[in-house]
Amino acid sequence: MNCQTRVGTRWIACPAAILTFLTVLAPFVGAQSKSPAAKPPKMPPRPKLVVLLVVDQMRADYVEKFRGQWTGGLKRLVDEGAWFRDAAYPYADTETCVGHATISTGALPATHGMVSNEWFDRELQKTVTCTDDSKVKNLGYAGASVKGGDSASNMLIPAFADELKFQTGGGTRVVTFSLKARAAITMGGRLGDAVTWFDADVGAWTTSSAYPVAPFVEEYAKAHPAAGDYGKTWAPVLPASAYLYDATARGAVPPAGLGAAFPHPLRGKSDSTGPDLVFYDQWHTSPFSDTYLTRIAETAVDKLGLGARAGTDFLGVSYSSVDYVGHAFGPRSWEIQDVLVRLDQDLAELFAHLDKKVGRANYVVALSADHGVAPIPEDMQKSGMDAGWLNVESVKERIEKGLEPFNYAKPAVAKVGARAVYFTPGTYDKLTNDPAALRGVLEAIQSVPGVAHVYRAEELEDRPSTQSPMLKAEAAGFFKSRSGDLLIVPKPYWPWDSSTPTSPRQYGATHGTPHHYDQRVPVLFMGYGIQSGEYFQPITPADIAPTLAALCGITLASRDGSVLAEALKNSSARPVASRPAPASPPKQP
């Protein structure tokens, strides 16, 4: 029978094979079951499948603004689910790796250690990404040759998925997908069975030697190359009158060849005749890549029979394209509105698939985002607000200049990035014993347009008790060996500009600050054990994993979040009753 799927070193039989196997065994099982001691223990009810969905860069207000235009999966989450309307990250570095690790572990970066997408490794004296691991090797599917090595080894506590698998006796399969390694890996943890991301440098689905190679991904990647979307055009799905804002977003920085306004052709470089690297950049910045993630997730459900066995399985999907679209066109764009309408349709398809294959009452969904985003400063300036770009090169230059009177070796700065300043070895120790020079550095940074505060590492250690929300947010994300010597907080609407005189800025909008537009995200639960309703008490996305853990009856090692008990039904196995539908769809503001 050719009906087995190999997951790493294990072979998993398809449902038909299991059925045949059980039929053959039935007489023996029956004979054994005469002894009461041989009966399997009756397990308390649990969801058959936990589905964690992260929409990369989804602002909470997108739900409030656009839900009237949704008819699919996002609408179903809002209508049937538990909707937490005042959820925000309590830390400062609102970036992808940090948000996903927080959702995945139920802890804050001061605990899980994923303080940023990348940091300056003081031992190696170089910048490393949050998933860099020199002990593993990345493996491309469908014969692709990929570089680097990525794993969850830098995440210092287990993911919820790790604990689920470890504590339920191995019956759990963990499968995650994203365009980004830092999203798929932080959700899949160390024990993931299939952890898959897209390497845009070669245009290939990828995993690493930290995880089993999944034959169903190999088959799918060969049969459905991402290059199959080459030549498509992203056109608006709604009538023009349905879009808020201007058709061309002010200050947009779209990928090459995509164009500043609809329609957006996905044809790579202008002279290209087939999929090239520019095409993959365009594909990321389009709804087609989210649809691809949906289809491959459905394939995982089918091929592995997720949610169809005795244990509780885990499926994590991080939808990346909202982030790429947001960076390119900003939150006030037709493109953001459109990509969400299409994600709503993708999620309708995913939930319909799960209803059929797993059963509506048998799975629980949690949806959130890893961070929000700031408006494009040029767009904000139009309204007369104080807005601009805080330039990283200016910070570096002014620190070096500020130190000139104090006789420090140049360069004193090893790296400035993600709001963090790292000094060359020995320099910061010297500065902490040299108040005049340190004051010179702090004043130099304060003189850069857009800087609001500068914190020193020693102010942030051990989560100090403080009345200052900004200091508290910085401390919640501080991990001494990885965080900077100094941390810069920009003014509101002054995002970080990483351009240099030789390389222009690659994005129109960005995130990564302790301001509320970056911190505030949606949190929605739906399905097994969930009490539908709208909840307004302040929560954080670190509460998601503890809540899922409570539903699954497991314990997390170190959590900073809490169980959202108000969203849980007392009795765990009932299907969710829909709230009555509104008479007419809510009007757009």
Binding site for Zn ion (CB under 5 A): 56, 96, 323, 370
Q: DSSP secondary structure string, 331-383?
A: SSSHHHHHHHHHHHHHHHHHHHHHHHHT-TTTEEEEEE-S---PPPHHHHHTT
Q: How near is the Cβ of 180 to Zn ion at its closest, in Å? A: 7
| Residue that is written with structure tokens 């949606």 in the block | 522
Q: How many CA atoms lie within 13 A of 300 on its CB side?
A: 28
Return the number of the residue (298 or 335) whose C-beta is nearest Zn ion.
Answer: 335
533-535 and 363-368 as β-strands: parallel, antiparallel, unpaired? unpaired
Residue 169: CB minimum distance to Zn ion, A: 34
Q: Contact 182/322 with Cβ under 8 angstroms?
A: no
Other beta carbons less than 10 A from residue 424's beta carbon: 15
Give backbone dihedrals phi and psi of 467, rounded to 5 degrees, phi first.
-90, -10
In 35-192, DSSP assigns E strands to 49-55, 82-84, 118-121, 126-129, 138-140, 174-178
Query: Which residue lies nearer to Zn ion by CB, 281 or 370?
Result: 370
| Torsional sign, CA 185, 187, 193, 194 | negative
Closer residue to Zn ion (CB): 56 or 290: 56
Q: Report the residue number, 183 or 221, with the smaller CB distance to Zn ion.
A: 183
Q: How far is the CB of 512 from Zn ion (least distance, A)?
A: 8
- Least Cβ distance, residue 165 to Zn ion (angstroms): 25
What is the distance between the alpha carbons of residues 135 and 151, in angstroms, rounded to a whole number?
9
Task: Report in angstroms how near the CB of residue 252 gets to Zn ion at its nearest.
Answer: 15
CB 246 within 8 A of CB 331: no
Closest contact distance (angstroms) between CB of 125 and Zn ion is 27
Q: Between residues 331 and 402, which has the closer beta carbon with respect to Zn ion?
A: 331
Under a CB-based contact definition with an 8 Å cutoff, are residues 127 and 121 in contact?
Answer: yes
CA 371 – CA 369 distance, rounded (Å): 6
CA quadruple 52, 58, 61, 67: dihedral positive or negative?
Answer: negative
Nearer to Zn ion, 155 or 354 (CB): 155
User: How far is Cα 289 from Cα 321, in angstroms, rounded to an integer?
Assistant: 7
Tokens, residue 207: 């995993």
Give least dist CB 184 to Zn ion, A.
12
SS3 label, residue 22: helix
Q: Which is nearer to Zn ion, 96 or 498 (CB)?
A: 96
Residue nearest to Zn ion (CB): 96
- Report the nearest approach of Zn ion to the CB of residue 249 (Å): 16
Shortest distance (Å) from residue 179 CB to Zn ion: 10
- CA gap 75, 87 in Å, rounded: 18
Query: What are phi and psi for residue 315, nearest 5 degrees?
Result: -125, 120
Q: Which one, of 122, 191, 110, lies nearest residue 156 by Cα?
A: 110
Measured from the CB atom, the residue of 323 and 485 that comes closer to Zn ion is: 323
Nearest to Zn ion of 308, 343 (CB atom): 343
* Cβ neighbour number for residue 275 with a 10 Å cutoff: 21
Min dist CB 324 to Zn ion, Å, is 8
Buried-exposed string 16-51: b where 16+ CB fall within 10 A, e elsewhere: ebeeeeeeeeeeeeeeeeeeeeeeeeeeeebbbbbb
| Cβ 186 to Zn ion shortest distance, Å | 11
Give 80 or 323: the residue with its C-beta nearer to Zn ion.
Answer: 323
